[in-house]
A and B are shown apart, each in its own frame.
Chain A
């Protein structure tokens, strides 16, 4: 247990050392950003949209009891922006991207492709790990804002099915409910989630062993550990944000 924690510590330390050491892999980082975004986009769009619809539908009757249906955009905004969008995006990315990174690097490890890279004078940590971790760290905040936007569209669709509503008024009410602290907190959370998902996937893949069984284990561990850490970070981040709010 302690040995494993020490190895994780060394892996993270190496990441920060390599991330600031030239040559910088700009082209590969862009490629990985595209991969991360592309892989998650369809599922994130669908999940975000459905979450918006369902959340609006479930909340509306309760608000109607108090004659407060006009608060629906604010409620949707707060729920989506503060928690649902970062969390949903991170969980989907942990499943799609984390497992993909774990399996890809794991497969490269057991088929000696990582060693082949090393002997051809390429630093595999910089080329494979740093690029993927930076890509998830950069892309997750963008995907989080996208999820929030798609969720908003879903909520608006639900509202317009039962009553006439103006989209601009809905959006304005949505935006008014969000504070600067919400924007900062969600962005920081998404960055941390992205870093975690990338790091866990790379660590599991880079340290996989025992042939094809090891590849499967690396992919599986990347998802399970990634999701667990995302939930833990969400709890801690929420506590910290509330400290700033009060």
Chain B
């Protein structure tokens, strides 16, 4: 398995500077700096509880940082009013670790929901076409009338991704896309993330501690250690080190 190479663009779509975030006395982020370039898949690696998910929740405005700045598509997230934040969120897709499908709705209704809420001028035919297009993109057309409870974990993840794609976002945030899935389904999800990058021209941040996923989807890898990004670069650059905080990731993932 070859690691992906860096993209050539240097246009920044997300810029994170000196971000700090604490929960009570526990400081999770201690001055994190990170850039996401247009068109790339950036994988954020780190141990559980190091603030990876907190970081993407700050990017999407679900949480607010205690200090520092987070600029998304040229807009400082914490300075936006409610309306501006809603507008920005239309340009960001967020795939949750738990998939977060609305369990009282069918798959069709789950996919229609963001469209009906945000694109009020669309006809029923246009909505149906958009739903079928994203379902086709994730290869799950047959589930259209099923309930989320009838799907497997991998199918739920894909539908979760499809639901974010329906608004055609410029940025995708994946929170642990392969967590809890079998190895074959993990490979399918990795492939889907790459397909999304190519087909929808998205720039993505992928939060994971799965090195197979990191190697397969990441144009760049950034390691979050002790609340800061300590290492960033291609897969090989990041893991070409004797740093005892980094090498265990490599050893335990059996992909040498």
Q: Which residues of A contact B (CB under 8 A)?
A: 104, 107-108, 111-113, 115-123
Which residue of the partner chain A has the closest CB to B88?
A121
A sample of 17 inter-chain contacts (CB < 8 A) reads: A108-B102, A112-B100, A113-B100, A113-B101, A113-B102, A113-B103, A115-B62, A116-B101, A116-B163, A118-B89, A119-B94, A120-B163, A121-B86, A121-B87, A121-B114, A122-B117, A123-B86
Which residue of the partner chain B has the closest CB to A127?
B117
- In the bound complex, do residue B98 and residue A112 qualify as a contact, i.e. CB atoms below 8 Å apart? yes
Interface of A is mostly: helix
* Least distance between A79 CB and chain B CB atoms (Å): 39
- In the bound complex, do residue B62 and residue A118 qualify as a contact, i.e. CB atoms below 8 Å apart? yes
Q: Which of B84-110 contact A (CB under 8 A)?
A: 86-87, 89-90, 92, 94, 96-98, 100-104
- In the bound complex, do residue B60 and residue A119 qualify as a contact, i.e. CB atoms below 8 Å apart? yes
- In the bound complex, do residue B117 and residue A119 qualify as a contact, i.e. CB atoms below 8 Å apart? no
CA distance A117 to B82 in the complex (A): 14
CA distance A107 to B92 in the complex (A): 25
A115 surroundings in chain B (CB, below 8 A) = 57, 62, 96, 100
**Residue B164, interface by CB 8 Å:** yes
Q: Which 4 A/B pairs are nearest by Cβ-Cβ distance?
A: A116-B100, A112-B100, A120-B114, A119-B94
Which residue of the partner chain B has the closest CB to A104?
B104
* Least distance between A16 CB and chain B CB atoms (Å): 16
- In the bound complex, do residue A120 and residue B98 qualify as a contact, i.e. CB atoms below 8 Å apart? no
Q: Decide: A122 near B114, CB < 8 A? Known: A111-B103, A113-B103, A115-B62.
A: yes
Q: Decide: A121 near B62, CB < 8 A? Known: A111-B100, A112-B96, A112-B100.
A: no
What total count of A-B pairs have CB within 8 Å?
Answer: 55
Which residue of the partner chain A has the closest CB to B117?
A122
CA distance A107 to B148 in the complex (A): 14
A121 surroundings in chain B (CB, below 8 A) = 86-87, 89-90, 114, 117-118, 167
* Least distance between A182 CB and chain B CB atoms (Å): 39
* Least distance between A210 CB and chain B CB atoms (Å): 15
Q: Which of A108, A111, A119, A121 has the most CB of B within 10 A?
A: A119
Partner of B62, one of A108, A113, A119, A123: A119
* Least distance between B44 CB and chain A CB atoms (Å): 18
Partner of B164, one of A112, A117, A120, A123: A120
Q: Which of B180-208 contact A (CB under 8 A)?
A: none
- In the bound complex, do residue A111 and residue B114 qualify as a contact, i.e. CB atoms below 8 Å apart? no
A113 surroundings in chain B (CB, below 8 A) = 100-103
Q: Which of A113, A120, A121 has the most CB of B within 10 A?
A: A120
A120 surroundings in chain B (CB, below 8 A) = 89, 94, 113-114, 117-118, 163-164, 167
Q: Which of B96, B100, B102, B117 has the most CB of A within 10 A?
A: B100
